[in-house]
Structure 1
Amino acid sequence: RCGVARPEAYEPTSLVGTYDGVDWLAVEQDDGYLFYAPGRVTWIEVDVPSAYAPEPNPLIDLAPAVSASVPLLER
């Protein structure tokens, strides 16, 4: 989902994983993870259930679309 609110778990010093050039914050849920892409003009949320473990794998597939369509914030 695009345009979601910043997750409560996010702090500027939060550890993120980077997959194909896109940073992701992982928030563990009861059945998998929610991943958020910080540092972009809009927040992106990806819900990956445990059935798709290892959960970061879909992020690799999504990275080109995220990079192409959601610009980085200017710092």
Structure 2
Amino acid sequence: MSETTRLTLVSRHYCHLCQEMELALSALLADFPFDLEVLDIDADPLLEASYDELVPVLLHDGKELCHYFLDVAKVRDYLSEIR
């Protein structure tokens, strides 16, 4: 995995699950350095059409890694694979 690995979190400002996933992702940074891009679903009609009821959604290069809650084991395995 290069230093430029970017994960995308599709989120809402008022969503407590979104805030919890963003916080949980910070715990993975020690083992797997990545950039986290947080996108506001309500500011993008295309994102809202795709993920409206699923937020928070964690993506890498358009691939959905998990939604609602951070699947730590799955994301760790995925980040290990792309190293």
Establish whether TM, by shorter chain, passes 0.5: no
Greater fraction helix: 2
